[in-house]
Every structure is written in structure tokens, then in C-alpha cells.
Amino acid sequence: MNENDTLVEQFGECTFPNPAGYDYWTDEKSVVLFQTIFSGQEDALKTVQNNPVFFEQAGPKEKIYFAPGEVTAAIVTCGGLCPGINDVIRALVMELHYRYKVPRILGFPFGYEGMVKKSGHRPVELTPDKVAHIMNFGGSILGSSRGNQSTTDMVDTLCLYGVKMLFCIGGDGTLRGAQAIQDEVKKRKEDIAVVGIPKTIDNDINYVQKTFGFSTAFSKAVEAVNCAHEEAKGAPNGIGLVKIMGRHSGFIAVNAALASKNVNFVLIPESDFDLEGKGGFLEILKERIKRRGHSVIIVAEGAGQKYFEDKGEKDLSGNKKLADIGLFMKDKITESFKKDNIPLNLKYIDPSYIIRSVPANAEDSVFCGFLAQNAVHAAFAGKTGCVVGIWNNVFTVMPISLAIAERKVLRPEKSTLWRALLASTGQPNSMKATQ
């Protein structure tokens, strides 16, 4: 990555005074250093002086690009559900209405599908009264959907309703859609700010320290894990097996294990493992059962996909359809113990849809508010084709293209998080068979 990769597109000069009425403003040139760890002072000085990469700091600017009284803003939520979506919607509406005095805020129902005329959906007007208490509920008051829609039709709809800023709440697929909308808007030379607010409980958006809903998700997952522990220790040779969301990354699985402190094995997409053979998972699991009499296992949904035939199937969002590793592991463990005549009491728990459908916890709710407010600040400052996030505990704005360039994954070979996980569970550094 170089310094040009982090440059956010700007419509033009900001000339209107910001009506938000804050006591202080974020300087237009304020930046956040990308790299924070160096091999020494000399390396730090050399990097900063010769080849620094910065993110733009998010926040309200004293001068803004759009005249607030002429703005129609719109919000769309796409993809799978996630704790905190309603908190983001609420905070967007409150900031737009009360601080920036925006006269009209629209919500497109059922994701990008609601932005296409042929779908038959129509936008709903969002007011403070309508959104005042929605943070108490999970899901999205606007609904959601998956799948690609015609970009030209969506931009036609934005122009039809006179939308000047569109806030897209969603994950990788949603942000790709937002980028396509931005490209079409740019081609038409329209002044429509497109700002993404990254939403994924998997916490796998590139160059975003954490996404909203993640804290709630792994906190809720801990409840299932602790129940699995009670089941496991309450029976001879008891095993509690919990499947947790995480298509490409194991962040929820690892954090749930660290928070629970009752987990003995965590299987994630980023760390390959073998089932059979010396040093393989099943052998190590049996040793644990013989020694301790019970075990708790977390498996992320994207783990162990090498054991299934790749049929090339994709869901409506274009994501590869995954085989069910949870049920596969349940069957394999049962078969292996039966083969060796080892008694077994296995309980399998899949709390996936419970985890993603609950309201945000207090920490996530606060975080959602910050993200939404900074998205509004970015749009009014004339920023477009961008994503708001957090990096090194500072809220940032970066291009959508950078956020979707690749997925963020946990890297076991250099991750302090994985190192802490190994210390907590006691599982081996590797569960690859040696023969």
C-alpha cells in the first residue's frame, strides 16, 4: 500500500459554514499514521520521513460542501443481519436532522432491491420520532436482501428522489455495490456522496480495526459456549461442540474462546488442521478426554472446508457456499470414538442466527453512534466513494476500493490474539498430522 491508495475522493471546495454547532472542528489536514509498530526508533523516523502512509481522520469540518437545506439523504441496509444496524440508522437520522438540519431522510427497504423501480418497493421517510427507540430491537427496520441489482437503475432512483448523499450499511458485497454506484454517479457527473458504513460480525473488513456488531456477536456466542461447557462436564466423556460464524476469519471464534475461558480447541479458517493421523485433531481430542474427561470445541463455519468437494456454488451475494463443518465434525468425532470403543456424550450447538439477530450491547451501541456521525460528517464535507472506520483507536475515512481490496483475516503466525488463544486453550500450535 502507498500514500495514494488512502486518498479519498472529494467533490470540490467546501464553502458553506457547518451548522452542527460543535465547539471544535476536525482539521481538514488531520491524518492517522497507518503503521504503528517499528523495529526501532531509526526505522520509525525513516518510515515517517520517507514513505509514510496515512488515513484521513474522520470528524466534522468547519466548512462543508453541501448546503444542508437542499439535501435529501438516503439510507440502505444490505446483506445478512448484524447487531447494531438499527443503532446506526438511528444515529444517522439524528445527526442529519438535528445537527445538519437536513429536511428529508429516506430509507430504501430491503437493501439494494429497494432501490430498483421494478421491485415495487418505495422509500420510507425517516424522522427522529420513527427511529427514537429502534436500537432496542435486533435486525433492521429497513429490512435487507442479498444479490446484485442494476447499477443504472439504482442511480436512476437516486436521481429521481433528488438524493445527494447515500449511506450504505453492509459488508464486503454491499461495499462493492456502493463502489459500483459511486462509479455510475461519477460517470454521470452527479454530486451524490456515497459513504459506506462497514457491517460484518466476522470483523473481516480490510484496514478497519473492528466493525460494529462484532463485540455483541462474540459476547452472545460466549453464552452458547458456556452452555456447551456445562453440558460437557455434566456427563462422562462429555464434548460440547459449538459452530460459530466466520466464513473467512476466526475472530468471533477466538474472542469467544478467550472470553469464555472454558474452551479447549478452536478451529478457524486461517489455521489448517488434519483430522486423522499422529498429531491430528482427533488423536489430540481423545488424549484430552482420557486425561480430563470432557472437552469444549469451537469451530468457525469456514474451517476445514478442504474436507468437502468444491461444487462452485455461490449465494445471491456471490459468496462461495460453504459445507456445514459443524455437522461434519459432529459425525467424524462420533465415528472415531465409536471405532476406538470410547464412550461419548456429544452435544452440538449452532447459535449462528441468534448471535446475529440480537440488539447491540452497550459497547457496540456507542460505537455505532460514532460511525454514523462520522459518516454524516464525511458526506457533508464532500467526501464520496469512501468508508468510515477506526484505526489505532481513531475514526478514519478511506476509499471503498481499499476496504474491498482483500479480506482481513487472523494471521496465526504473527498474531498476538492467536498466541493468547493457544495459551488459554492449551491446544497445540499445530494440529497437522506428522505421519
Residues at the annotated binding site for ATP? Answer: 80, 146-147, 171-174
| Claim to verify: residue 322 and residue 395 sit in the same structural domain | no
Task: Work out the mean pLDDT of the chain and round it to a whole number.
Answer: 94
Q: At 316, is the pLDDT very low, low, confident or very high (cuts 50, 70, 90)?
A: low
C-alpha closest to that of 176 among 380, 34, 370, 319? 319
C-alpha closest to that of 32 among 207, 215, 214? 207
Q: How far apart are CA 140 and CA 43, in angstroms?
A: 47
Give the domain CATH number at 64.
Answer: 3.40.50.450
Residues at the annotated binding site for Mg(2+)? Answer: 172
Annotated catalytic residue: which of 202, 204, 274, 364? Answer: 202
Does 434 reside within a domain? no
Task: Judge whether 293 and 299 are in contact, CB under 8 Å.
Answer: no
Active site residue 202: yes
What pTM was estimated for this model as a whole? Answer: 0.94
* Percentage with pLDDT > 70 across the chain: 99
Give the domain CATH number at 332.
Answer: 3.40.50.460
Does 244 reside within a domain? yes
Q: Does 435 score more than 70 pLDDT?
A: no
Q: At 82, is the pLDDT very low, low, confident or very high (cuts 50, 70, 90)?
A: very high
| Claim to verify: residue 221 and residue 205 sit in the same structural domain | no
How far CA 383 is from CA of 56, 59, 71, 176, 182, in Å, comes to 11, 12, 15, 17, 11
| Claim to verify: residue 163 and residue 57 sit in the same structural domain | yes
Q: Does 434 score more than 90 pLDDT?
A: no
Residues at the annotated binding site? Answer: 80, 146-147, 171-174, 200-202, 245-247, 301, 353-356
Does 430 reside within a domain? no
**49 three-class SS:** helix
Could you list the residue range(s) of the whole structural domain that residue 350 is in?
A: 217-354+413-425
Q: For residue 16, count other CB atoms closer than 10 A to its CB.
A: 14
Give the number of domains in the chain.
Answer: 2
